[in-house]
Structure 1
Amino acid sequence: MPSQMEHTMETMMFMCHKFAGDKGYLTKEDLRVLMEKEFPEFLENQKRPFTQGTKITKDLDQCQDSRVGFQSFFLLIVGLTITCTAYFVVHMEQKGRK
């Protein structure tokens, strides 16, 4: 039975391939659908969610070929996780002060 971390890694690989399909990379549209389905609360808190999606795609498309591979997808997840962790820490600190 895989560990929790191994399961998390497997889930990340599966999610990327689920939205990329057989082509093996994510397009701007793939990323938009992924963000809408998998990060709805994150998008709700953005001032301009679809503009952010376009910027995210540009930032991740390192080769400027309108394709986002697994490594760039992983960087997106890491960035979102870091952002959420920072928010969580601030929220917990504020909660502790009350």
Structure 2
Amino acid sequence: MPSQMEHTMETMMFTFHKFTGDRCYVTKEDLRVLMEKKFSAFLENQKDTLAEDKIIKDLDQCRDGQVGFQSFFLLIAGLTVTCNDL
């Protein structure tokens, strides 16, 4: 039986692949939908109304409109650190 941490990792991978389909990346629009569905409480509590756009822009480091799993994972890690700090 997987540990809670392993289950969490599996959930992150499943969520990413749910939005990517057969691709290895999410588009900016996919990421926007994902964030609005999965991080709605976080986004609602942001004082900066452009936070979502800034996050998406920062994650698309190659400026090709694609965000891979590594960048997606960095998003999760960054949000987790921010929430922990609060």
TM-score where L is the length of structure 2: 0.91
Give the ranges of 4+ consecutive aligned residues of structure 1 lying more than 3 Å apart after TM superposition.
Answer: none
Higher relative contact order (CA 8 A, sep 6+): 2
- Distance apart, 1:4 and its partner CA: 0.9
Larger Rg: 1
Give the equivalent residue in structure 1 for 2:78: 79
Identity of aligned residues (%): 73
* Cα RMSD (Å): 1.0
Q: CA deviation at 1:22?
A: 1.5
**TM-score if structure 1 supplies the norm length?**
0.81
Gaps of 5+ in 1: 88-98
* Residue of structure 2 equivalent to 1:7: 7
**Counterpart-to-counterpart distance in 1, 2:5 and 2:19:** 22
CA displacement 1:63-97 (0-9 Å, x = unmatched): 2211000000000000000000000xxxxxxxxxx
**Going by fraction, where is strand more abundant, 1 or 2?**
2
